[in-house]
Structure 1
Amino acid sequence: MRLDHVRRLGGPNVYLSRPVAIARLDLQGLAGHETTDHPGFAGRLAAALPGLATHHCAAGRPGGLLDAMARGTYFGHVTEHVTLELSGLIGREVFFGRTVRAGGPADYDLILECPRDEPEDCAVVERLVALAMRTVEDALAGRVPDPSAELAAVAAEHEAGRLGVSTAALARAARRRGVPVRRVGGLNLLRLGYGRYRRTVWAAMTDATSAIGMEVAGDKRLAHRILADAGLPVPEGRVAASPAEALRALRDLGAPVVVKPLAGHQGEGVHIELTSPAEVVEAFASAAGEEREALVEAYVPGKDYRVLVVGGRVSAAAELTAASVTGDGSATVAALVERVNADPARGEGHDRPLTRLALGPAELAMLARQGHGPGSVPAAGERVWLRRNANLSTGGTGRDVTGDVHPDVADLCVRAAAAVGMDVCGIDLRLPAVDAPPPAERGAAAILEVNAAPGLRMHLAPHEGTPRDVAGDIVDLMYPPGTPSRVPVVSVTGTNGKTTTVRMIARMLELDGLRTGMTTTEGVHVGGRLVHLSDASGPRSAEMVLGDRTVEAAVLETARGGIVRRGLGYERADVAVVTNITRDHLGVDDTEDLEDLADIKALVAEEIRRGGHVVLNAADPVAAGLARRPAVRDRDPVLRYFSTSPGEPVLVEHLREGGVGYCVVDGWLTEAHGDRRTRILPAGEVAGSFGGAAVHVVANALAAVAAARALHVPVAVAARALRTFEPHAHNPGRGCVYRVGGNPVVVDYAHNPAAVAAMGALVERYWGAGGVAAVTLPGDRSDDLVRETARALARTFGRVVVYEDEDLRGRRSGEMTRLIAEGLREARPDVRHHPAGDLKGAVTSALDMAGPGEPVLLLYEKLQPVAELLETLGARPGDPPPGGPPPSGPGDTARASRAQAPDGQVMGSPT
Structure 2
Amino acid sequence: MKILSIRRLRGPNVHLSRPAVVARLRLDDLTGRETSDIEGFTERLLRALPGLADHHCAAGAPGGFVSRMRGGTYFGHVTEHVSIELSQRIGRDVSFGRTVSAGEPGLYDLIVECPADESPDSTLPGELLGTAAALVTSIAAGEPVRAADLGHHLATLAALAEREATGPSTRSIIVAARRRGIPVERYADLSLLRLGWGSRRRLAWAAMTDRTSGVGVDIAADKQVTRRLLEDAGVPVAPGGAARTAQEAVRLLTTLGAPVVVKPRQGRQGEHVTLNLCTPKEVSDAFTAAGGDVVVERQLDGRDYRVLIVAGEVVAAAERVAAHVIGDGQNTVAGLVARTNADPRRGDGHARVLTRISLDDHAHLVLDRQNLTPDSVPAAGRQVWLRDNANLSTGGTGTDVTDLVHPDVARLCLRVAALVGLDIVGIDLRLEDIAAPVPPSGEPGLILTGVIEVNAVPGLRMHLAPVHGRSRDVGDAIVRAMFPAGSDGRIPTVAITGTNGKTTVARLTACLLGGTGLRIGLTTTEGVSIDGRTVHRGDATGPRSAQMVLGDPGVQAAVLETARGGTLRRGLGYDWTDVGVITNITADHLGQDGLDSIEDLAHVKALVAERVRDGGTLVLNADDPWVRSLVDRPRVRADRKRLVWFGTDPAQPVVAQHLGRGGVAYLMHDGWLVQATGARRTPLLRVEEVPGSFGGAAPYAAVNALAALAAARALGASQDLVVSRLTEFTPRVHNPGRATLLRLGDVTLFVDYAHNPAAIATVLRTLHRLFGPHRCVAAVTLPGDRRDDLLAASAQVLADGVTRAVLYEDEDPRGRAPGEVPALVEREMRMRRPTLTAVRASGYRAAVGEALRLAVSGDVVLVLYEKVGPMLACLEELGAVPADSTVVHAERLPARPARSLGLHPAAQTTVPS
One-letter code of the match for 2:729?
F
Check if 1:128 corresponds to 2:131.
Answer: no
- Write the deviation string for residues 349-399 of structure 1: whole angstroms up to 9, x where unpaired: 000000011111111111111111111111111111110100000000000
1:567 to 553, 567, 571: 571
Partner of 1:823: 828
Partner of 1:725: 729
Distance 1:568 1:819 in 2: 35
Partner of 2:847: 842
Report the secondary structure of 1:384's partner residue.
Answer: strand
2:198 to 191, 195, 202: 195
Q: Does the 8 Å CA contact 2:769/2:889 hold for their aligned counterparts?
A: no
Partner of 1:899: none
Check if 1:627 corresponds to 2:627.
Answer: no
1:393-472 matches, cutoff 5 A: 393-440=393-440, 442-472=446-476
Distance 1:657 1:887 in 2: 40
Distance 2:77 2:275 in 1: 59
One-letter code of the match for 1:48?
A
Q: Does the 8 Å CA contact 2:609/2:636 hold for their aligned counterparts?
A: yes
1:219-618 matches, cutoff 5 A: 219-287=222-290, 289=291, 292-440=292-440, 442-618=446-622
1:413 CA displacement: 0.5
One-letter code of the match for 2:135?
T
1:50 CA displacement: 1.2
One-letter code of the match for 2:156?
A
Q: Does the 8 Å CA contact 1:519/1:556 hold for their aligned counterparts?
A: yes
1:883 CA displacement: 3.0
Check if 1:787 corresponds to 2:792.
Answer: yes
1:854 CA displacement: 0.5
Q: Does the 8 Å CA contact 1:219/1:262 hold for their aligned counterparts?
A: yes
1:635 CA displacement: 6.7
1:720 CA displacement: 1.7
Partner of 1:143: 143
Distance 1:485 1:650 in 2: 36
Distance 1:141 1:848 in 2: 69
Check if 1:883 corresponds to 2:888.
Answer: yes
1:194 CA displacement: 0.7
Distance 2:440 2:125 in 1: 58
Partner of 2:160: 157
One-letter code of the match for 1:775?
V
Check if 1:168 corresponds to 2:156.
Answer: no
Partner of 2:878: 873
Report the secondary structure of 1:205's partner residue.
Answer: coil
Partner of 2:214: 211
- Write the deviation string for residues 743-763 of structure 1: whole angstroms up to 9, x where unpaired: 110000000011000001010
Q: Does the 8 Å CA contact 2:197/2:550 hold for their aligned counterparts?
A: yes
Q: Does the 8 Å CA contact 1:38/1:140 hold for their aligned counterparts?
A: yes
1:805 CA displacement: 1.4
Report the secondary structure of 2:104's partner residue.
Answer: coil
Q: Does the 8 Å CA contact 1:171/1:181 hold for their aligned counterparts?
A: yes
Distance 1:885 1:224 in 2: 87
Partner of 1:908: none
- Write the deviation string for residues 403-443 of structure 1: whole angstroms up to 9, x where unpaired: 11111111111110001011000000000001111234732
TM-score by length of 2: 0.96
Gaps of 5+ in 1: 889-911
**Which deviates more from structure 2 when the two are superposed, residues 436-445 or residues 483-492?**
436-445
1:134 CA displacement: 1.3
Distance 2:187 2:821 in 1: 42
1:780 CA displacement: 0.8
1:702 CA displacement: 0.6
Partner of 2:23: 23
Q: Does the 8 Å CA contact 1:765/1:885 hold for their aligned counterparts?
A: yes
Residues 122 and 228 of structure 1, relative CA distance in 2, 3 Å threshold: closer
1:327 CA displacement: 1.1
Distance 2:827 2:332 in 1: 86
Q: Does the 8 Å CA contact 2:784/2:821 hold for their aligned counterparts?
A: yes
1:466 CA displacement: 0.5
Please tell me the root mean square deviation across aligned C-alpha atoms, in Å: 1.4
Check if 1:659 corresponds to 2:663.
Answer: yes
- Write the deviation string for residues 204-263 of structure 1: whole angstroms up to 9, x where unpaired: 000010010000000011111111122211000021222221111111101111111101
Partner of 2:681: 677
1:886 CA displacement: 4.5
Q: Does the 8 Å CA contact 2:692/2:885 hold for their aligned counterparts?
A: no
1:795 CA displacement: 1.6
One-letter code of the match for 1:268?
E
Distance 1:200 1:247 in 2: 44
1:887 CA displacement: 5.5
Q: Does the 8 Å CA contact 1:253/1:297 hold for their aligned counterparts?
A: yes
- Write the deviation string for residues 294-332 of structure 1: whole angstroms up to 9, x where unpaired: 111001011000000001010000000000111111111
2:755 to 742, 751, 754: 751
Partner of 1:893: none
Distance 2:890 2:229 in 1: 79
1:44 CA displacement: 0.8
Distance 1:7 1:216 in 2: 44
Distance 2:705 2:511 in 1: 11
- Write the deviation string for residues 598-647 of structure 1: whole angstroms up to 9, x where unpaired: 11010000001111000111010101111111111167010111111212
Report the secondary structure of 2:749's partner residue.
Answer: strand
Q: Does the 8 Å CA contact 1:6/1:122 hold for their aligned counterparts?
A: no
1:700 CA displacement: 0.6
**Which deviates more from structure 2 when the two are superposed, residues 170-179 or residues 828-837?**
828-837
Distance 1:798 1:634 in 2: 46
Report the secondary structure of 1:206's partner residue.
Answer: coil
One-letter code of the match for 1:739?
R
Q: Does the 8 Å CA contact 1:366/1:385 hold for their aligned counterparts?
A: yes
**Which deviates more from structure 2 when the two are superposed, residues 311-320 or residues 879-888?**
879-888
One-letter code of the match for 2:778?
A
Distance 1:325 1:823 in 2: 84
1:583 CA displacement: 0.2
One-letter code of the match for 1:28?
D
One-letter code of the match for 1:839?
Y
Distance 2:695 2:516 in 1: 25
One-letter code of the match for 1:245?
E
Partner of 2:46: 46
Partner of 1:37: 37
Q: Does the 8 Å CA contact 1:96/1:113 hold for their aligned counterparts?
A: yes
Check if 1:701 corresponds to 2:705.
Answer: yes
1:885 CA displacement: 6.2
1:122 CA displacement: 4.6
Distance 2:109 2:293 in 1: 60
Partner of 1:80: 80
Report the secondary structure of 1:381's partner residue.
Answer: coil
Distance 1:56 1:326 in 2: 45
Distance 2:707 2:380 in 1: 78
Check if 1:181 corresponds to 2:184.
Answer: yes
Q: Does the 8 Å CA contact 1:45/1:144 hold for their aligned counterparts?
A: no
Report the secondary structure of 1:795's partner residue.
Answer: helix
**Which deviates more from structure 2 when the two are superposed, residues 378-387 or residues 766-775?**
766-775
Distance 1:221 1:580 in 2: 67
Distance 1:82 1:494 in 2: 38
One-letter code of the match for 1:247?
V
- Write the deviation string for residues 867-898 of structure 1: whole angstroms up to 9, x where unpaired: 1211221111112354356469xxxxxxxxxx
Partner of 2:838: 833
Distance 2:740 2:767 in 1: 12
